[in-house]
Amino acid sequence: MAEMILLGVGTGVPDADRENTHMVWNGPGGPLLIDVGGSTYQRLLRAGIDPPNLAGVFLTHSHPDHIHGLPVLLFSIGLAGRRAPLPIYGLGDTLAIAEELCRAMRLDYSYVVQPLWRSIAAGESRELAADWQLDTALTAHSKPCLATRFVHRSGAALVYSCDTEPCIAVEDLARGAQILIHEATTAGPFAGHTSPQQAGEVAARAGVGQLVLVHYSPRWTMPETEALAAVYRGGFQGVAAVGREGQRLSLDITLL
C-alpha cells in the first residue's frame, strides 16, 4: 500500500467543506503527515490512521494555514498515550518558526509529545523505507517552501507541489510522475500561487498521468467546472480532478 490521503484541500480561507490543505502519505515506513491543519487528529481517524502512530510530520513552509495545528497535534497524541518523540521535518527557517509556535503555547512535555526537529535542505532526499525515497525541491512562494516527490525504486512517483507559482524546479520534480497534486489557488497568474490553467500547463510539460487540484476554493478561485476546463486549456490531456477531502491517491508500482 502506497497512497496519499487528502485531509484538507482548501485555501488559507477555508470553505465549509474544505479545510486548509494538508495530507498524509500512507506507505512503507509508516504514515507521514504533510502539514497540520486545525482538525488533523479527527481527519486522520476518518482516514483509518491512528494519530499516535504517525512516523513523522513534514512541514512544507511556515505560513499559518500549514503549521498552526502542530501544537495541538503534539498535545492530543500525548493525551492518547504516545510517549515516543515525533520527528518534525522541514527547512531550517520553517522549523524555527514552528518551534517558536510550540514554545509560545508553553507545552508541558511531561505528557505532551516532544518534537524532534529534523532540518532538510532544499533538494535533499531522504529514504522512507526499503525501495522508497522522498525527494524535495524549493518552490516559488512568498515563504521558503518545499515540494515533495514520493518515489519507488521502479520509478513510480507521486508529487505534491505545495504552495508555488509555476516554476521549473517543481516542473522538474514532477516530470514523469503518475500523480501530480498541484495547488490552484487563484483565477489567474498571481505571485506565489498558481491558477488552474497554469497547473494544467505544468502538468502537460511534466508529462504526468493524473492531476489533482488542491489549495483550491470554488468561492475564491473559480467554480469547479471552470477550473477543470481551464486545466485542459492549459494543454493537459490526462485525468484531471479537483481534490476531495478523504480522497485516496494510490501509486501503481506494477505499471513499471
Our count of domains for the chain comes to 1
Statement: residue 110 has pLDDT above 70 = yes
Q: Is residue 107 part of a domain?
A: yes
Indicate if the pLDDT at residue 256 is higher than 80.
no
Instruction: Please give the average per-residue pLDDT across 161-187, as a whole number.
Output: 99
Phi, psi of 14 (to 5 degrees): -65, 155
CA distance 253 to 102: 39
pLDDT digits (tens, 9 = 90+) for 184-215: 999 999 999 999 999 999 999 999 999 999 99
In a domain, 122, yes or no: yes
Q: Indicate whether 1 pLDDT > 90.
A: no
**pLDDT tens string 27-37:** 999 999 999 99
254 inside domain: no
Q: Say if 255 falls within a structural domain.
A: no
CATH of the domain at 192: 3.60.15.10
**256 in any annotated domain:** no
Asked if the structure places residue 253 within a domain, the reply is: no
Q: Please report the pLDDT score of residue 255 as a whole number.
A: 55
DSSP result, the chain:
--EEEEEE-B-SS-BTTBPBSEEEEESTT--EEES--TTHHHHHHHTT--GGG--EEE-----HHHHTTHHHHHHHHHHTT--S-EEEEE-HHHHHHHHHHHHHTT--TTTSPPEEEEE--TT-EEEEETTEEEEEEE--SSS--EEEEEEETTS-EEEE--S--S-HHHHHHHTT-SEEEEE---SS-BTTB--HHHHHHHHHHHT-SEEEEES--TTTT--HHHHHHHHHHTT--SEEEE--TT-EEE--TT--
Return the ∠ at Cα 180 (arms to 176 and 182), rounded to 5°.
140
- Classify residue 184: in a domain, yes or no: yes
Q: What domain range is 75 assigned to?
A: 3-247
**Mean pLDDT, rounded, for 153-178:** 98
Query: pLDDT of 2-61, one tens digit each?
Result: 999 999 999 999 999 999 999 999 999 999 999 999 999 999 999 999 999 999 999 999
Residue 97 lies in a domain: yes
Q: Is the pLDDT of residue 106 over 60?
A: yes
**Global pTM value:** 0.97
